[in-house]
Chains A and B, each alone.
Chain A
Amino acid sequence: MPAEARADAERKLALADRAALSAIELIYREAGLLDDQRYRDWDELWAAGETRYVVPMCREVVDYDATLNFINDDSPMRRRRVDRMTSGHAGAVNAVGRTVRTVSRFAVDRIGDYELRVTSTEIVVAYKQGDHQVWAAELTHHIVTADDRPRIRAKIVHLVDAEHTVRTCGFLL
């Protein structure tokens, strides 16, 4: 959970740390790709092998597979999601106006020789048909750093209103 992850990050890296900076840079790049709806390029940010992209419906969940989630994608399912988003045949995706998002409040800690955990906040303003929606979430990224380029191994999006009534969504958080 983000709050615990932040507390754990007493051993967190200084933001000026080279590894921390490259992880944050990756998350900024990801935010831009998602706002630009460049989902194929976004997919390239993910690590090979086993990954997880989750938007849970409850903060306390530890076993996402045992519960209902808004999104619970392993690597193949994430690619199918990208296929849908880029198919041109998904009405909700086609109807998306524009989104702009801010990610901030980064805290980075090292959880393995080649893995960082980054917590942050995400505020998305989505505009469509005269209507502005605000989506707010706490993010936890697991970033692997084994190659020269950092990659996303896991991303958990805790919506502030996950346990309540939300709007249907034609873009990604």
Chain B
Amino acid sequence: MSIDVAGRTGSDWGSLVAADRVSARVYLDPEIYEAELERIFYKTWNCVGHESEFPERGSFKTRAVGRRPVIVCRDRNDQINVLLNRCRHRGALLCEKPDGAVAGGFTCPYHSWSYALDGRLRGIPYPDGYPRDIDKARLGLGRLRVETYAGLIFATFDEDAEPLAGFLGAARRWIDLFMKQGAGYPIKVQGAFKFRYQANWKIQLENVTDGYHFPLVHRSWMANVDAQTAEMLSFMKDPEAVTYGLENGHSVGIFVPEHVDLDEDDGTEALQDRFGDLVADLQPGLPPERLRRLVRSLHGAGFNLNIFPNLALSMGFIRLLNPVAVDATDNEHMVLGYEGGPEGANRERLRIHEHFQGPFGFGTPDDSEVWARVQRGAAADPNMPILIDRGLNREEMSDEGHLRSHVTDETGMREAYQMWKRLMTDAG
């Protein structure tokens, strides 16, 4: 199969994606990026956070969906709202703080129009300049439609988008498995790295289920961790380490098969020596089964789940991406912990996260480097396709009806690009 992209300037974006390859233009073309905002990011469900980030009424964070800044906040009725961060009067950004808590709501810095936490317009200073019967109900903040699943907050600009549950589809089972890393405690976000890399967002999307790169790009990390952790992530020849294409662009890559369902434990797995001090600290207070359950969860779930287009649930953390330009993407890596759980266990998870993730981690900078390298290299010939055919020779259909191949194969990428194609063509 070939892709004829030579000289194409129209909007037949679907022709850029074939079953086994995509045109490099999908990384490079600013026009495609603009179309992606309209057809993907402003149409479908985007994850904008986790409920634990908003513990109290008035808790908020500012984020963005594409180029549209939003405020995610918990209102006085405990509802989570996702509001367009823009005053209805003359357009000023309402809130510039990355996070915080407010008592009543948000007030515009320009003319002090004030809004409640659910976006309702509460007050207009010096109202004499407006009709006495001005309809404040029509002048609330822009609001996105919000639904949650397993504590994850999703929002969409499209009132007609299908219900979240249907959009997530088969991925829901994997989200449920992912959340088992709470080990009996509610999951909480302990903090987040925020960083930008100079590459198209889809290069990272591909990477989430790309086991192929792991021992190569992350060689310095593998050499740096203890032998048991390195062994845990030695999946290159493990036949149980597989990837599933789910549906709607979602996919899952299993890196640590014994940690897919953390409730399942045949007792043969030795607890890692690196957690010896923690085990000694917790032993007096926790029954052995609970202690074992907790310690086995410290690295998180044994897989990376890609939820198209902007969410990844990746072992011990939640990853949000936001495309800020055709060649620049913002990321948040939110480390998880145990609400009300042992402090020592939460600290272990912080240290694990710092070791690999973030702008100064032992893994993330190397990922960012190769992604930027793809962005620059692909420009060498936009018409030369990006190959996503690895594993087609051994891909098979699972009993549940999902394509399955080895975790080093590119099944997840093929799934994502078929969804991309659907959304980017008129059929979407």
Contacts and interface: CB of A to CB of B under 8 A. Distances in A.
Interface stretch (A20-28, A35-43, A148-156, A162-170): A162-170
A117 B135 CA distance: 60
Contacts of B355: 77
Given A66-B347, A68-B350, A57 B191 contact: yes
Contacts of B195: 165-168
B196 A165 contact: yes
Contacts of B362: 80-81, 84, 90
B194 A84 contact: no
A70 B224 contact: no
Given A70-B358, A169-B360, A84 B193 contact: no
Contact of A83 (B194, B224, B350): B224
B395 interface: no
A65 B369 CA distance: 28
A70 B193 contact: yes
Nearest to B190: A68
Contacts of B365: 90-93, 168-170
A89 B196 contact: no
Interface string B200-242: 0000000000000000010111011000000000000000000
B369 A68 contact: no
Interface string B347-371: 1001101110011101011101110
A132 to B, nearest CB: 13
A167 B359 CA distance: 6
A69 interface: yes
A134 interface: no
Contacts of A87: 219-220, 223
A90 B194 contact: no
A91 B362 CA distance: 10
Contacts, number: 95
A58 B224 CA distance: 27
A65 B347 contact: yes
Nearest to B99: A163
B111 interface: no
A95 interface: yes
A102 interface: no
A164 B350 contact: no
Contacts of A89: 219-220, 223
Nearest to A73: B354
Output the residue of A65, A84, A131, A164 with the most chain B CB within 10 A.
Answer: A84
A165 B194 contact: yes
B376 A129 contact: yes
A168 to B, nearest CB: 4
A55 interface: yes
Interface string A51-71: 000010100000001111111
Given A129-B376, A165-B330, A166-B359, A68 B193 contact: yes
A66 B354 CA distance: 12
Contacts of B191: 57, 67-68
Given A69-B354, A167-B359, A92 B366 contact: yes
B358 A164 contact: no
A72 interface: yes
Contact of A168 (B98, B219, B368): B368
Contacts of B45: none
A106 to B, nearest CB: 25
B366 A166 contact: no
Contact of B350 (A67, A80, A129): A67
B192 A68 contact: yes
A55 to B, nearest CB: 6
Given A67-B190, A89-B223, A92-B368, 9 more contacts: A67-B350, A68-B335, A70-B359, A81-B362, A91-B369, A93-B365, A131-B198, A168-B368, A170-B369
Kindly list the 9 A-B residue pairs having the minimum CB-CB distance in the complex, ordered from nearest: A68-B191, A92-B365, A90-B220, A168-B368, A168-B365, A89-B219, A91-B366, A91-B369, A92-B369
Interface of B: 98, 190-198, 217, 219-221, 223-224, 330, 335, 343, 347, 350-351, 353-355, 358-360, 362, 364-366, 368-370, 372-373, 376
